[in-house]
Each structure stands twice: as C-alpha cells, then as structure tokens.
Chains A and B, each alone.
Chain A
Amino acid sequence: MIPRLADRRMVVCCGAGGVGKTTLSAAIGLGLARKGSRVAVVTIDPARRLATALGMADLSDEPQRVDHPAVGAGELWALQLDAKATFDRLVARHAPDEAARERIIHNRIYRHLSGAVAGSQEYMAVERLHELVDEGSYDRIVLDTPPAQNALDFLDAPQRITRFIEGKALRLLVRPGLSGAGAGWRVLHLGSSTILSILERVTGGQMLRDVSEFLAGFDGMYQGFADRAQAVRAMLASPESAFVVISAPGSAPLRQAMALGDRLQADGLPLVGAVLNRVHPLPPGGAPGPRPLLEALVAAGAADPADLASRMARTVADEQVIALRDLDAHEALRAALPDLPLTTVPALDDEPADIGGLAAVADALEA
C-alpha cells in the first residue's frame, strides 16, 4: 500500500467504524515519514486512540511532532480534529467583520450545528485537510475519517451542510421571488407565507427565529463557503489525492467497504487500494498429529497429557476456523473490487500501544 502512495500529497483513509482506521492512518503516516517525508496525520477520535499509540498524552488541534527514532529520516506530526474550532476558523475567515462573526458564533443553532450534529465532523475533517494543504508546511497529509453510521456519509456531508448554510431552502419558503444573497434579506417575518406558517406550527416560533438569524448571519458569506466546498472537492478529486478503503473481516465492515469502493470509483475519486486489517493466518503446518503431541507432552512432564493435548488441539482448530473465515473475507473483497490492489495486515492481540507496534503495522503496509 505505502509504495502506491509515493506521489500523493493527501491520503484519505475510509471505512466502517471499528476496522482500525485510526491505527492504519497513523501507520501509513509513519511509513511515509520513514521514507523521508514531512507528514501530518489528522485523526478524528473521541477516544484519543492515536494519542495512545503515538505515546503522546494529549493531541491538540495543532500538529505536534512525534519524536521517536522509528520515524527515521522524515518527520511525523499528529493532530486531533477539533470540529468546532475548525468551524469557528472557517466562519472567521469568511465573515465580513467582527460583529458578523460574533453574531454567528453565539447563535444557538450554530453552536448546535458546529458541535454534536452528525455531518459537521465529516465536513470539518476535510476542511482541516484543506487548511493544512494551504499552510504548506507538510509534504503529505494523512486523513483518518470520522466514525459515521455509514462510511459514505463522509462524502456527502460538505454538500449537505453547505446547502443548509446557503439557506436557499428557507429563502424560497419566505420570499419565492428573492434572488441572490444579501439582497436586504434579514430576519424572517414569521407568518408571511403559507409554508412558513405551516413550518412554524411544527417547530414553534423561537426555533424558526434562531434559524433565520443564523441564516441572516451567513448572508453574504455563502459564496465563500460554496467556493471552499468546491475547492475541497477539487482537491480530493485531484491526482495528488489518494483514497484507501479499509476493512476488517466481518459482514458489516466488508459490505461498507464494497459500497465505498463502488461509490469512490463511480464519483471518479482517486481510489488507490484496499486494506484488509486483522487477518489471522492459517497455523503453519496444520494441526499436530495426536500421537506426536501426546508423546511430546509426556516428555515435557505434563500432569494430564491427554487432557492438555485435547485442549491444545481445540485451540489449533479454533485458529483454523478463524483463518478460514478471514480467507473468505479476503476472497469476497477481492471479488467485489477486482481491479483494486488489496493489502492484508495481520491481526494483533490488541491495538498497538506504542510506536514500535505501529512500525510493525507500517511494515505490513509496505506490501
């Protein structure tokens, strides 16, 4: 996988939740840094997983350097996405003046939108990627993607939120003839149109007033947002970007990986490969013969050799079943995305707890 990312500036790791995206993003970052690049890894991670793996107590929204001999010739920087801080900066960038910025930042709808709401994290992840590209301090940026219900949400979020901010929806409801932003459109006059009064019956007046104030706050800034969403999209579609689909054995993550692969290809986004993580190898040499096993246990002085032998045999048999299950997963993924290079990463007993463990994952990704 890592050799295929040699000439890419932006690497986006996507896949279902729980497949090890964060760890693999960090390992890809480490793999690229070892080759001499200056790499930033953006992680989206409420449990601060990457922080643990990188031996950093606290990851902030600003990149921090990972100082470890395993990084080798290059530099590895890591940061934790802070969706709200990123959104605040985006507003500050596009607001015409300080007063406009304050109006938005303190609006109740905005505070809700920029924090918890599904979709804003996904949008801000790509926005942060764009900021880092603009900043120009890094040769490469690796983006871990947020834990969405559906891995595809990540691709749709920017457009959804831009549409909401654009407020075309409510504008049309309020004054069907109004064209363009900033044409004296202020707070909604509640009750001035049929549909609006219907909506008010559902939401109540306060919520509609907040929404209208929110949209009024963005009046005149919409173009900036739309341009930015366009630029982000163009950046992701450019040959400087690379998408990596990550899965683990299991029907749910596999199905999401397949859907994601199809969708990325259909959208013309630069999908370069898939990774099947946590693959158990078949035990080498197969199961031991009952007699040699028993004899060896007797020779080793086991208390109840026959009993221990049967428990050992069961352990090997379990391992074989799990390995076959993982082979099935590998075949299914290969069949679903036949033209896509597929890399496997062996299962670890637990997530890497230090940079040495991460380096072992990076080694597997060299294939």
Chain B
Amino acid sequence: MSAAAVPPLLDRRLVFVLGKGGAGKTTVSAAMGLHAAARGLKTLVIEVASQHRMTEMFGVRAAEERHRDVEVELAPGLWTISIDPEHATEEYLATQLKVRPVVEMLTRSRAFTNFAQAAPGLAELVTLGKTWSLAVALKPGSSTPVWDRLIVDLPATGHGIALLETAQNIEELAGGGPIKDQAERIRQVVSHPGATGIAVVARPEELSVTEGLEAVRSLRDNGLPVASAVLNGMSPARFEAGDEPALSALAASEHGPVATAARLSLRQIEGSRHDQAQLGRLRDESGLPVTILPQLVRRNMGTAGLEMLAAEFGAPA
C-alpha cells in the first residue's frame, strides 16, 4: 500500500506507541495526546499493566484514581486509563458469560486465577480486547464514538510486538469458538491501516534506532500498520562548521571555564552530527515519516515540557 493511500498517523483513531525501553514511549504518548486534545479531539491515552505513569506526569491525583480501570481526566479533552489485566479478565468473562454469579465463581477461584495469570497470551488478549472495546464504544443512543482518538502506550519492543500480535496468535491457537471470534474482531481493527497506526519511537542512539528498525520490519511482516516514526531527544544544530576552528583553538590553548565551554561546544557539535546520522538511518531504512522531538533541557519534564513536545506533532514531518 502506498503511503499516500492511508491517512497520516494522527488522523487514525487508534494509535499504538512502540519502542525500546527508555525510548520515551510514555512521554511521546502524552505529547501526542495533548496535541490531539488541543485540536478539539476527545482523546484517551491507554496505559497497560497498571503503570499509572500518566497521572503522575500530569500531577493528577484524582479520587477516581483509586478505582481500577476508570478514565481520569488529565487536561481539557485529554483522559487516561490504566488497564489492569486481572480486572480486564473479569470484565471480559462478564461480557462473554453474561451471568454475574458465574463470573464471580470463576474469578474467586484460586485455581482459575493461577491459570489465568500464566495462560499463554490471556493477559495480552484481554488487554488488547479492552483497548478494542474502548475504541469501538459508542455514546449511549447514538452512533458517535465515545473517543475521537485512542493512544496506547505499549510495553517495550518485544512485549509490545507480542501484545500487538496476540490477536493473530490466539486466532490460530484457539481453532474455533468465542475466543477465536473475539480475536478475529480485534485483529481486524488492529491491522486496519485506515483505523489504526503504529508509531515507533527511538532515541537518536545506534541501538535504539536499530531496535526500532527491527520492530518496523517485524510489524510489516505481520501485516500490522506501521504509520510513523518518532525520534525523541534530538540535539539542536546550534553550531556551524565555521565555528569549529575558533572553538578548537580555545579548547587547546585556554584554561578553566573558557576551555571547558569550548570543549562542551565541540562535543555538542559531535552530538548533533551523531543525532543527524541516526535520523538519516531511521528515515532511510524505515521509509516512514519521522517526527523529531527536541532534547528538552529541563530539571523536570512537567506539563510545560510536554506541551513543548506536543507542538512538534503539529509541525510538518
């Protein structure tokens, strides 16, 4: 499918954010969410495995946070939910079985809990299933979706890909029956390039970009809709090549703070070149549009920092 035939990342309703541990997936999810909300879209950022990092980032300590799996408002038009697999399993069983006492009998059984915690792919399936049900939920009595945009902050690359592929795997594994049907419905949404887009996040570091590129290949091989890449933490191009002779002279001849400033500036030039090279690799080898997020020099990220990053998603890629 050509790039022109599918909508840009943030025009898709369901966005998955994937990347190596430490690449900044949570920060990127929050910034994308702020950007979408600022465009007037009611946006939900979904965290998996009960991380509750989004409320922490926005300094929200809402009373509702004590409840599991409840949407919490972070900023005007921006909400978050943290999916707890255990609770999602109960919810899933409730919708499948429809008889409340039967569900309670199952979920209160220690034997069942042990089984559910380790059953291959069950936690992943219910997490993805919950995401899917949020994505397809309609406002009561209307055909308008509850959420205009849903952004999923995935676990680190390996587990994140496993989560995205879980519907396909379960479909194959289950043979037939309700789980297979459910997995098929989920898979159809998750792999639809008109509805869903995956953003791969990397830092401008050799290994982070390599892992991102490997993820892009693996997702494409599995027919999953990779839409965009994000390079997070790019150093600014502050100096020019013409500055180097003077900086080198100062670094060599001066002492104390002047020499230190010259050495740090030379290192900044090196760093900026290095980051440009990683940007080139990411862009050329993935063929994806790349959103560049600048390195934020702040003692704390804070919501002001997030808003600065959010603005970058409005800039042309």
Give A contacts to B, CB under 8 Å: 16-19, 46-47, 49, 52, 108-109, 112-113, 116-119, 121, 146-150, 160-161, 163-164, 168-173, 195, 198-207, 210-211, 248, 250-253, 283-289, 292-293, 296-297, 300-303, 308, 311-316, 318-319, 321-322, 324-325, 328, 349-351, 353
B173, A46: Cβ atoms closer than 8 Å: no
Task: Assess A300 versus B205: contact at CB under 8 Å? Given A164-B114, A311-B265.
Answer: no
Are A109 and B120 neighbours in the complex by a CB distance under 8 Å?
Answer: yes
Taking the complex as formed, is B3 at the interface, i.e. its CB lies under 8 A from any CB of chain A?
A: no
Known contacts A52-B207, A252-B26, A315-B264; can you find 20 more A-B pairs with CB under 8 A?
A17-B20, A19-B21, A46-B157, A46-B214, A47-B210, A49-B207, A109-B173, A148-B159, A161-B118, A163-B114, A195-B109, A200-B177, A202-B96, A202-B179, A207-B174, A211-B119, A285-B257, A301-B246, A312-B264, A315-B265
- Given A117, A210, A297, A321, which contacts B162 in the complex, CB threshold below 8 Å? A117
CA A39 to CA B179, docked complex, whole Å = 47
- A112 touching B109 in the complex, CB below 8 Å, given contacts A117-B120, A147-B156, A169-B115: no
Quick check: is B169 within 8 A (CB to CB) of the other chain?
yes
Which of B33-41, B266-274, B282-290 contacts its partner? B266-274
Within 8 Å CB of A161, what residues of B?
118
Q: What's the least CB distance linking A85 to chain B, in Å?
A: 17
A104 to chain B, nearest CB (A): 14
A117 to B173, CA, bound (A): 13
Q: List 29 A–B pairs whose Cβ atoms lie within 8 Å, in order of A's numbering.
A: A17-B22, A46-B214, A47-B207, A146-B158, A148-B156, A149-B155, A160-B118, A169-B115, A195-B105, A195-B106, A198-B102, A204-B176, A206-B174, A206-B177, A207-B173, A207-B175, A252-B26, A253-B22, A284-B257, A285-B256, A288-B260, A297-B250, A301-B249, A302-B243, A311-B238, A316-B264, A322-B297, A351-B206, A351-B207
One of B48-56, B61-69, B71-79, B139-147 at the interface: B48-56
Taking CB as reference atom, which chain A residue is nearest B49? A149
In the bound assembly, the distance between CA atoms of A168 and B169 in angstroms comes to 25
Known: A198-B97, A287-B261, A288-B257. A204 touches B175 (CB 8 A): yes
Chain B: minimal CB distance from A254 (Å): 12
Q: Is the CB of A325 within 8 A of B177?
A: no
Q: Within the assembled complex, what's the spacing in Å between the Cα atoms of A308 and B47? A: 44
Within 8 A of A (CB), among B89-122: 93, 96-97, 102, 105-106, 109, 111-112, 114-115, 117-121
Q: Which of A147, A198, A286, A316 contacts B106 (CB 8 A)?
A: A198
Q: A202-B179, A349-B271 are in contact. Are A163 and B246 (CB under 8 A)?
A: no
Query: Taking CB as reference atom, which chain B residue is nearest A323?
Result: B299
- Residues of chain B contacted by A19 (CB below 8 angstroms): 21-22
Q: How far is the CA of A289 from the CA of B111 in the complex (A)?
A: 70
Q: Is the CB of B297 within 8 A of A349?
A: no
**Which B-chain residue is minimally distant from A19 (CB atoms)?**
B22
Q: How far is the CB of A127 from chain B (nearest CB, A)?
A: 16
Q: Does the CB pair B111–A296 fall under 8 Å?
A: no
- Residues of chain B within 8 A (CB-CB) of A210 are 173, 175
- Is the pair A17, B173 in contact by a Cβ cutoff of 8 Å? no
| A316 lies within 8 A of B260 (CB) | yes
B155 to chain A minimum Cβ distance, whole angstroms, is 4
The reply to whether A284 and B243 contact each other, CB–CB distance below 8 Å, is: no
Instruction: Give the residue name and chain of the B residue nearest to A117 (CB).
Output: B120
Kindly identify which residue among B93, B118, B256, B274 contacts A349, using a CB–CB cutoff of 8 Å: B274
Chain A residues closer than 8 Å to B20, beta-carbon distance: 17-18, 47, 147
Tell me how far the C-beta of A47 lies from the nearest C-beta in chain B, rounded to whole angstroms.
4
At the interface, yes or no: B262 with Cβ under 8 Å from chain A? yes
* Contact B211–A47 (Cβ < 8 Å): yes
A287 to B96, CA, bound (A): 65
Q: B175, B256, B267: which contacts A288 (Cβ < 8 A)?
A: B256
Q: Quick one: given A149-B156, A201-B178, A287-B261, are A315 and B268 in contact (CB under 8 Å)?
A: yes
Known: A204-B176, A289-B257. A47 touches B121 (CB 8 A): no
Within 8 Å of chain A (Cβ to Cβ): is B198?
no
Does residue B180 face the partner (Cβ distance < 8 Å to A)? Answer: yes
Contact with A along B183-220 (1 / 0, CB 8 A): 00000000000000000000001111011001000000
